[in-house]
Amino acid sequence: MNQTQQILFDEPGPRARRRIRIATVIGAVALVGALIAAVQQFASHGELAWSRWEPFTTWPIWRYLLNGLWATLKAAAATAVLSGAFGLLLALGRLSPNRPLRWLAGAYVEIFRTVPALLLIYVTLFALPAYGLNFPLFWKLVVPLVVSNAAAFAEIFRAGIQALDRGQTEAGLAVGLRRSQVMRLVVLPQALLQLAPSLVSQLVGLLKDTSLGFVVSYTELLYSGQVLSTYTQLLIQTFLVVSLIYLAVNASLSKFARVLQARNGRLTGRGRVAAGPDAPTPATSAPSTSATSTSTASSPDPTSPSTSPDPTSPSSTEGSTAR
Amino acid sequence: MSILHNNLTRRRSLALAAGALAVALGATACGGDSTSAPALPGKPAAGGDSVQAVIDAAPVATDAEIPAGSTMEAIRKRGELIIGGSLDAPLLAQQNPVSGQIEGFDADLAKLLAKYIIGKPEVKTVTIGTQTREAILQAKSVDAVFQTYTITPQRATQVAFAGPYLTSGLAVAVRKDETSIKSAKDLNGKTVIVGANTPAVTALPQVAPDAKQVAFATDPQAIQALLQNRGDAYVQDLTLLASGAKSNPGMKVVGEPFTSEPYGIGINREDAQFKEFVNNWLKKIQADGTWAKVWKATLGSVVEGDAPTPPVIGSVEGS
Amino acid sequence: MDALTAHLSVLGHGLVTTVQLTVVTTIGAMLLGIVVATLRISPVPLLRTIGTLYVEVLQNLPLLALLVLFVFALPQIGIQFPLFTSAAIVIAAYQGAYLAEAIRAGINTVGKGQAEAARAIGLTFSQSLRYVILPQGLRAVIQPIGNICIALLMNTSLAAAVGVVELTQAANNVNLVEAQPILIFTGAGLAYMLLALIIGQFTGLLERRLAIVR
């Protein structure tokens, strides 16, 4: 908890501590009670019957689900690499001095940030085959996700680049580097380092986006769960198991993002100690996607000077290091 | 610590993590052979061994029937039949997660056709959405479509149909204690659950224009929705409903099927030779009882009685 | 164009559903976000844990899985809502988690002097949050909140998975009949862009009026 948060309440004295303890115990008991009641209700519908859960103790079912997970990871990796690269190009385009290029890149980003990924998948699925563009299954999912996520990545990169101290660019130019060299040798390496947590968050969102595979019948994890549920007729159990797998994978990715965030803070040495390793910044709390949305959501904004002053640090020259 | 050092350590740990993940996944993906299928509650048998016996005994085309330069010859040379189908249609084309094979009436017919042409039941299924079947057949991305593809004159202008190979119909299912709905006509003004992208979506307004439709993606979801009172009735293909009613005592099928859905095998419109070939094959397996045996092993496992008489080839407008 | 005009009622209905869903879930998500953000910084450890768990679980699960579980599994525990309400609750809860994080970030930007001053004049925890910290904190993160709202708009398209006919599903249904995907889906896309534009403009307006210049 950062200093602002810690100041909001006094260190609890003995009476307050007692009160807190009582409240905690009561609260915990109430919660556990509610949980037990829920589980009992669940069981009364026969959902906890061993016969319903037994298939999930067998290896073939797990192998099927893990194959689905592998397919998810493949799709996510392909999407991440392609949309990341494309997004970077778009961001550079938006920042270039060339007006038509800026306009084109800007138009692309504005359009594809505000169209749901699901709609793009429908277009790829229904509209394109009529024009002869019938992609293999994998690409039917990946192409629309790339188109969508590239816009999100573009915004993240642009914000990160713009958030970097202007002094770096000026110094680079002063030393005699060309604009492109400044970008390549000075700005990007630093910006990318700063953005690593945001990028990983976007990756989590992207992974969840792949759950749209069921629309194109690509057997990623969620669709595999769907096929499994029609095979076993066990809707609830299957989805619970699938959700747990997603939770495990995404939670580890998010943890990785937080680790990166913490290391960034230590690495740059600047940034407010107050923020602490656990504090979110609008940059990393990008809800981007969740399963579809792409619209970047909050990621780039707090750090983009073009919209509002950087809220995460008192002085705007500090860039997005307040973590 | 220099920035460079930190960079390297981070990159190294990243690589290590990625490597570990890859190894773990590789191990899980490659390892383990299939044990026997787990006992699954309420799941109707999809044939398995008996279908295998039928396929083993199935006819194979003679060389005379496969002229040079025809689609059949191309398929034979390729060594596998590529079809458009589904993975999650119980009794018709359902992927078995244990074996990875697709089981069901549609899937088995495709295997029989493949055996007829190639000599082995080698089938590659490409999952396609119901809205793209015409476009995919026109583009020749698949050889045929086996996906309970209803023959309509409108579709016949874009694709060719071999068959019909099965006639089914849409029926109504309600909760066990429902008494007011006895047939499709009683559905006016009610909330009706349908499967998304199924024929029910367009057929229901014709018989009950005031019914409110609620669509769900899969059959189990729709059944759950019915049992949870999210709709008054569920309209779906009769055999699927029968299968559902067998595993879920809380629902029952009422009335007779109110539509007649002739299912055909989708084929590229220009390929009259292939269509004739497939029709001849259909006639053959109908005559020698293979069709009936496959029916009994799949759809017949939830419906009482013997296999129905197969529909007459070419009897439906558009086929 | 005929394809669109002939089915204007279906598409219009879908659009209305999308707007309704967006408005309802935005309000819900904002409320939830503030509550959860408060939970995460409260003095009671149990509340902090609940807040953290909420955010962790909801941010790491796909919205589709949440929708299916809420609509089909929850009734087995005895809790069942109509489909629209269910979709609204789930999407609000989901985006609420992201909003909570954004609001917490906003709270972090408020200088520690503000908190000290609030305590100095005798305000309690909830009072200082309500009168001093949150008003400033929220104003600092208007843009990220606006972006989360746009993400919310995009996510309403998933409500179709549980039977709610919103704009994307309506477009899909019309396409089933008309088979003119480019026209219909472009139309739907334009509608989404328009809605997102409105949200963006509104956010910009709020920002100009309220943003704190540091």
A114 and C150 in contact by Cβ < 8 A? yes
Report the gap between the CA of C134 and the closest CA in chain B (Å): 37
Closest CA to B136 of A135, C154, A77: A135
On whether the pTM is more than 0.95, the answer is no
Closest CA to C84 of C174, C175, C163: C163
Of all residues in chain A, the percent with pLDDT exceeding 90 is 32
Whether residue A24 lies within 8 A of chain C, CB to CB, comes out as yes
User: B16 or B275: which carries more pLDDT confidence?
Assistant: B275
B132 and A67 in contact by Cβ < 8 A? no
The boundaries of the domain holding residue C180 are 2-210
Report the gap between the CA of A181 and the closest CA in chain C (Å): 32
B224 and C72 in contact by Cβ < 8 A? yes
State mean pLDDT over A276-281.
42
C46 and A24 in contact by Cβ < 8 A? yes
pLDDT tens-digit map of C16-47:
999 999 999 999 999 999 999 999 988 888 88
CA–CA distance, C163 with C158 (Å, rounded to integer): 10
Compute the half-sphere exposure of residue B273: CA atoms within 13 Å on the CB side of its CA. Answer: 10
Q: Is residue B201 predicted with pLDDT exceeding 50?
A: yes
pLDDT at B10: 55
A55 and B38 in contact by Cβ < 8 A? yes
* Distances, alpha carbon A70 to alpha carbons A206, A232, A248, B37, C57, in Å: 15, 21, 14, 22, 22
Whether residue A251 lies within 8 A of chain B, CB to CB, comes out as no
Question: Cβ(C11)–Cβ(C167) under 8 Å?
Answer: yes
Q: Is residue A321 predicted with pLDDT exceeding 60?
A: no
Output the average pLDDT for chain C: 89
pLDDT at C157: 92
pLDDT at B145: 93
pLDDT-derived band at B32, boundaries 50, 70, 90: very low
Write the DSSP string, B247-279. H-TTEEEES--SS-EEEEEEE-TT-HHHHHHHH
pLDDT tens-digit map of B67-108:
888 888 888 889 899 999 988 888 888 888 888 889 999 999
Question: Cβ(A293)–Cβ(A287) under 8 Å?
Answer: yes
Residue numbers in A near C160 (CB within 8 A): 118
Cβ count near B270 (within 10 Å): 12
Nearest to C163 among B202, B215, B229 (CB): B215
User: Which residues lie closer than 8 Å to B292 by C-beta, 6 or more apart?
Assistant: B286, B306, B307, B310
B201 and C179 in contact by Cβ < 8 A? no
SS3 state at B147: strand
Which pairing describes strands B170-175 and B233-237: parallel, antiparallel, or unpaired? antiparallel
A134 and B37 in contact by Cβ < 8 A? no
C176 and B202 in contact by Cβ < 8 A? yes
Size of the B and C interface in Cβ pairs below 8 Å:
30
pLDDT-derived band at A297, boundaries 50, 70, 90: very low
- CA B134, distance to chain mean position in Å, is 17
B230 and C72 in contact by Cβ < 8 A? no
Joined together, the tokens standing for residue B107 give 């899937």
Report the gap between the CA of C90 and the closest CA in chain A (Å): 12
Closest CA to C138 of C202, C81, C207, C88: C207
pLDDT at A120: 93
pLDDT tens-digit map of A112-134:
999 999 999 988 888 887 777 77
Burial of C189 (0-12, 13-18, 19+ CB in 10 A): buried
Whether residue A43 lies within 8 A of chain C, CB to CB, comes out as no
pLDDT at B9: 53
DSSP alpha helix (H) spans, C60-158:
63-68, 83-109, 112-120, 125-128, 134-140, 142-155
pLDDT at A315: 29
Helices A137-163 and A188-209, packing angle to 10 deg = 140
SS3 state at B149: strand
A51 and B39 in contact by Cβ < 8 A? yes
Count how many domains chain C has: 1
Pick the residue of C40, C64, C133 with the most A CBs within 10 A to test the interface with A by mutation: C64
User: A260 or B19: which carries more pLDDT confidence?
Assistant: A260
C149: domain CATH number is: 1.10.3720.10
User: Which residues lie closer than 8 Å to A276 by C-beta, 6 or more apart?
Assistant: A1, A2
Report the gap between the CA of A244 and the closest CA in chain C (Å): 8
User: B318 or B187: which carries more pLDDT confidence?
Assistant: B187
pLDDT tens-digit map of B107-162:
999 999 999 888 888 899 988 877 778 888 888 888 999 988 888 888 888 899 98
ipTM (interface predicted TM)? 0.86
User: Which residues lie closer than 8 Å to A163 by C-beta, 6 or more apart?
Assistant: A191, A194, A303, A304, A305, A310, A319, A320
Sheet with B191-195: list strands edge to edge. B212-216, B191-195, B233-237, B170-175, B251-254
Chain A neighbours, 3+ Cβ pairs < 8 A? B, C
Joined together, the tokens standing for residue A190 give 């630093």
Joined together, the tokens standing for residue B310 give 């197969």
Nearest to B43 among A62, A69, A232 (CB): A232
Nearest to B228 among C80, C173, C179 (CB): C80
- CA B252, distance to chain mean position in Å, is 23
Chain C neighbours, 3+ Cβ pairs < 8 A? A, B
Whether residue C68 lies within 8 A of chain B, CB to CB, comes out as yes
Output the average pLDDT for chain B: 80
pLDDT at A48: 81
As beta bridge partners, residue A38 has: none
C44 and A2 in contact by Cβ < 8 A? no
Helix (H) or strand (E) holding B88: strand B88-89
Q: Among the listed ranges A104-113, C71-80, C94-103, C184-193, which one has the minimum average pLDDT value?
A: C71-80
State mean pLDDT over C52-57.
94
C83 and B230 in contact by Cβ < 8 A? yes
Compute the half-sphere exposure of residue B294: CA atoms within 13 Å on the CB side of its CA. Answer: 29
Residues 128-147 of A with CB under 8 A from B: 129-130, 132, 134, 137
Report the gap between the CA of A282 and the closest CA in chain B (Å): 24
pLDDT at B34: 35
pLDDT tens-digit map of C121-177:
988 888 888 898 888 888 888 888 998 999 999 999 999 888 899 999 899 888 877
Nearest to A4 among C108, C197, C213 (CB): C108
Nearest to A235 among B39, B135, B221 (CB): B221
B232 φψ region: left (φ > 0), alpha (ψ -120 to 50), beta (else): alpha
Nearest to A309 among C148, C175, C214 (CB): C214
DSSP alpha helix (H) spans, chain A:
3-7, 14-44, 50-53, 59-95, 99-113, 117-122, 137-163, 166-175, 179-181, 188-209, 213-216, 221-232, 235-268
Number of alpha helices (DSSP H) and beta strands (DSSP E) in chain B: 11, 13
Residues 222-281 of A with CB under 8 A from C: 222, 235-236, 239-240, 242-243, 246-247, 250-251, 254, 274-275, 279-281
Residues 73-112 of C with CB under 8 A from B: 75, 80, 82-83
Chain B neighbours, 3+ Cβ pairs < 8 A? A, C
